[in-house]
Structure 1
Amino acid sequence: MDGMSMPSSIESSVSSTIQSTFSSAMPTSTTSTGGVDSMGGMESQMGECKISMLWNWETIDACFLSETWQVKSRGGFAGLCIGAVLLVILLEFLRRASRIYDQHLIRQHIRATSALAATTVNNSSDTTNGALIAKEGTTALVRVTPFRPKLWQQAIRASLHTLHFALAYWIMLLAMYYNGYVIICIILGAFIGFFILQWEHIDPRGGGVASFNGGKCATGCHG
């Protein structure tokens, strides 16, 4: 009986020794793991992108559009804000360029129609009216008909529209990061761009922007 009790006592003592050793080793292991986790947390806070889908005022380590576009300094963030203002001003410039090009096409069409009408009348028996049209070069006596741009003219119009659309979408993606500084710069760029590039004569008859030849704006004429 004594020989049978000996192994159980030895086993219990060995198991208690193992448990005590394991329990004494646990705090050291936990402490070391916690130290590694804290170091990793510090590294992630200092190196990873700060992206928020809520309103924020992040500056350093803020990322936009991709992980490679990460702001590393306050100077870099200031450059980003200036770039946002310039992007919106460029958007207004493309809108103005599209309208100016449409007005250019309208003037070309008016000149071609006037020249054709003057040639037709000058070749007729009524030389008085023909001389009047040729001398004044006015469209008051000529009925300007709607026209369709040529293939290459429409390609230029489509290119300007595509650039305007792509830039507007790019600005929208920047605004979707909900960074307060960037959104303020976008609004500021819209004000500056419209103030500078849309300061034109307004036609009191139609309420639109008057073109260079005194008529209505291009988008209102054959939009």
Structure 2
Amino acid sequence: MESHSSTPSCSMNMLWNTQVVDTCIVFRSWHVSSTATFVASCALVAALGIIYEALRAFQRSLDARIALELVNAPGAIRLSLGNDADADADSQDGCTVARSTVSEGGSMRVPLVHRTLRATLYGAAVFLALFLMLVFMTYNAYLILATVLGAAVGHFLFGGTLNVDGLQGGDSKGVPCGC
């Protein structure tokens, strides 16, 4: 006589598989007990991929807004990462620009509020990326496909712009105040 356990068991595969029922995704509590819950789980994983790409796009746009705000701030001063003796600073119309650091990888100090927001978003992006990696590591072909499709759809939706000057190493300095 066969005895059946009333508790569902997770199947953990370390090889490529297409198992649907009794798959556990990341947590024992995310136990797939039917095809319908597996399809819903795949949809959720794809949505997480889309959210990850949206978060990355938001990070890029926030960084651009913060950089613009810093460059256009009255008395903006760039901190040189190189030799300070080369920082030929001019002051015109109350606007200070260190010309030598514009194309040499100069940087500007980011206020604490912005640094905190950037760090929080970065942490969320890392968490989501590693979570999706754990989903990927189920080695389930359908979950892998859902992860990749979600990221691709998210990139299509939120990656519609390119910084052409940045890619070409352009000399677009964006000098503030018309200096």
Q: TM-score w.r.t. structure 1 length?
A: 0.60
Could you tell me how far apart the structure 2 residues matched to 1:180 and 1:85 are? 13
Identify the match of residue 125 of structure 2 among 155, 161, 164.
164
Q: Write out aligned runs for 1:37-116 (5 A).
A: 39-40=2-3, 43-44=4-5, 47-113=8-74
1:72-123 Cα offsets, whole Å, 9 max, x none, are: 22111111000111111111111111111111111112221489966438xx
| Distance in 2 between residues matched to 1:162 and 1:91, nearest whole Å | 12
Task: Determine if the alignment matches structure 1 residue 207 to structure 2 residue 171.
Answer: no
Query: Please, which of 109, 122, 135 is the counterpart of residue 148 of structure 1?
Result: 109
Aligned mates of 2:117, 2:111 — CA distance in 1:
10
Name the CA distance, whole Å, in 2 between partners of 1:189 and 1:165: 17
* Cross-structure match for 1:175: 136
1:92 & 1:172 partners in 2: Cα distance?
A: 14
Rounded to whole Å, the distance in 2 between the matches of 1:82 and 1:195 is 17
Shift of 1:151: 1.2
Distance in 2 (CA, whole Å) between partners of 1:44 and 1:174 is 27
Q: Which moved more, 1:46-55 or 1:151-160?
A: 46-55
Q: Which residue of 2 aligns with 1:189?
A: 150
In structure 1, distance between residues paired with 2:162 and 2:118:
23
Larger Rg: 1
> What TM-score results when the alignment is normalised by the length of structure 2?
0.74
Name whichever structure is richer in helix by fraction: 1
Kept in 1: contact 2:74–2:94 (CA 8 A): no
- % identical equivalent positions: 30
What residue identity is the alignment partner of 2:94?
Answer: T
Gaps of 5+ in 2: 78-90, 174-179
Q: Counterpart of 1:60 in 2: which secondary structure? A: coil
Q: Deviations over 1:132-163 (max 9, x none)?
A: xxxxxxxxx99567311011110001000000
SS at match of 1:66: coil
Partner of 1:120: 94
What is the alpha-carbon distance in structure 1 between the residues aligned to residue 14 and residue 162 of structure 2? 42
2:172 is aligned with 1:198:
no
When structure 1 is superposed on structure 2, of 94-103 and 63-72 the one drifting more is 63-72
8 Å Cα contact 2:75/2:94 also seen in 1:
no
CA gap of 1:102–1:94, structure 2 versus 1, over 3 A, is same
CA distance in 2, matches of 1:142, 1:66: 52
Q: Report 1 or 2 for greater relative contact order, CA contacts < 8 Å, sequence distance ≥ 6.
A: 2
